[in-house]
Amino acid sequence: MTEIAGIPYVAARFDKNGAALNANEVKVPAGTTDLFVLAHGWNNDDAAAERLYRELFQNFAAVAQDVLAKRKVAIIGVIWPSKKFTDVVEAAVAEQGGASAGLAGSSKAADDTLKKKLDLIAKMFGSEATAKIKKAKGLIAKLESDPAARDEFVNELRSLLDPSAAHDEDNSKLYLKMKGSEMIEKLKVPTPLAARDSGGGGGAASVTRAAAKTSEGGAAGLGDIFSGVKAGAMRFLNYFTYYEMKARAGTVGQKGVGPMLDRLAGKVQRLHLVGHSFGGRVVTAAAAGSSTDKIQSMSLLQTAFSHNGFSRSMNGFFRSVVDQQRVKGPILVTHTPNDKAVGIAYPTASRLSGTIASAFGDKDDKFGGLGRNGVQKMETGEVITGVAEILPVGSKYPWKPGRFHNLEGSKFIVDPTGKDAHGAVTGKEIAWAISRAMG
């Protein structure tokens, strides 16, 4: 066991099936009162995940001396095999100087980008996917001219996915059953992007063939580096990677982290769950699947799942967390339109339905993201409106136990270079909010 700013820390490692890889090392120091369990999002670099944990809790130690003086805190950092699913496209965009839809669908560069994406998927799955990846690569040259090749391309790859993670809230049920050629045709259309205005009701920004940048100043949308069928195929692959990471996060949470919480609960007074990006799904699945009654707080930082995920009326995937009162204290949900990554799956979800919301990606869009809008479609009294944003250090939060608190974070969740703020969740203001939720 090591330390972060004097707080005992240990990494808990899990494979993609949720099996613990170092359970004998994951222990809690005697006398621990409060145990934080942290889960990272989409990156497969252990060092990057632990850097996020270190930065967040160095700031926690700086602003929460009152807590640390009265309680004995320890930290477990979950390490699970995730993968950033936009990197191949981002690299291609950078290589082409940021040009949007600048490559013809039949170009060698388009084919090479698709092949690189398939190489990434091959590494995600290992030897079980070798034959299917090879088959898919062989079909790329035929995608433009042959609908049957598009069907086969989609079917070969989709057969690698676990259908148990499919749900209507992100249209993944439709994604798994739609005819491949029809899907790629729908995904040919340039991707709309969420409106920058956090107030909702604004028009959606769309990526056109002439635009090198989105209206938010970011790189072109996923797949928009080239046009036509190959663009549709790339959007299919990006959603494919999203789906696998979503399923994997749920599995790790349910089968790995949840049992770990139950095993360690008897050694502490309170448990606090903190998840970033897909790590929000990890800790939410852990809360849903565990049996301990000691989960005191849960902080979902720019979480990458549906904003209807806790909704009763929308049959949210994690509604049981609410109905079974799995979290005894406050549930914090940070959200901001500064986060461009968190809604990556939802343009595809909308396109598959053949619909585009007038204010795409905002709170009124069926396919919006939690880290973009906070929890939506909740029952009366389940979301506390007394505080609606992240507050400066030293401010008082009027938390309510067992209730959700949507914290708009645009003042503090900011990338200093003006790029995507998805990872800007380690600041003192967020650490302060987490410390005030400890009960």
DSSP letter string over 48-107?
HHHHHHHHHHHHHHHH-HHHHHHS-EEEEEEE-----SSHHHHHHHHHTTT-SS-B-TTS
Higher-scoring residue by pLDDT: 266, 228:
266
Beta-carbon-side half-sphere exposure of residue 214 (alpha carbons within 13 Å): 24
What mean pLDDT is predicted for residues 47-68? Answer: 97
- Cβ-based burial of 267 (10 A; exposed 0-12, middle 13-18, buried ≥19): middle
Tell me: pLDDT of 99 over 60. Answer: no
269-303 residue pLDDT tens: 999 999 999 999 999 999 999 999 999 999 999 99
pTM: 0.89
- Residue 166's contacts (CB-CB under 8 Å, 6 or more residues apart) are 172, 173, 175, 176
pLDDT at residue 356, as a whole number:
58
pLDDT tens for each residue of 138-149: 999 999 999 999
Q: Which of 243, 273, 258, 245 is closest to 18 using CA atoms?
A: 258
CB atoms within 10 A of CB 335: 30
Is residue 7 pLDDT above 70, yes or no?
A: yes
Angle CA(433)–CA(275)–CA(16) in degrees, nearest 5?
A: 170
User: Residue 305: what are its φ and ψ, rounded to 5°?
Assistant: -145, 180
pLDDT tens digit sequence for 303-345: 999 999 999 999 999 999 999 999 999 999 999 988 877 766 6
Which domains does the chain possess? 2-82+253-436 (3.40.50), 87-245 (no CATH)
CA dist., res. 208 & res. 310, Å (int): 34
Task: Dig out the tokens for 358 from the structure.
Answer: 């007038």
Mean local confidence (pLDDT), 128-141: 96
Give residue 152's pLDDT band: very low, low, confident or very high (50, 70, 90): very high
Residues in contact with 330: Cβ distance below 8 Å, sequence separation at least 6, in sequence order: 297, 384, 397, 399, 400, 401, 402, 403, 405, 437
Residue with token string 């005030």: 436
pLDDT at 417: 86
167, pLDDT greater than 90? yes
Say yes or no to pLDDT of 89 above 80: no
Token code pair at residue 223: 């797949």
Q: Give the C-alpha separation, 439 to 433, whole Å.
A: 12
The share of the chain scoring above pLDDT 90, in percent, equals 68
**Could you tell me the pLDDT band of residue 86, with boundaries at 50, 70 and 90?**
low
Q: What pLDDT sits at residue 418?
A: 81
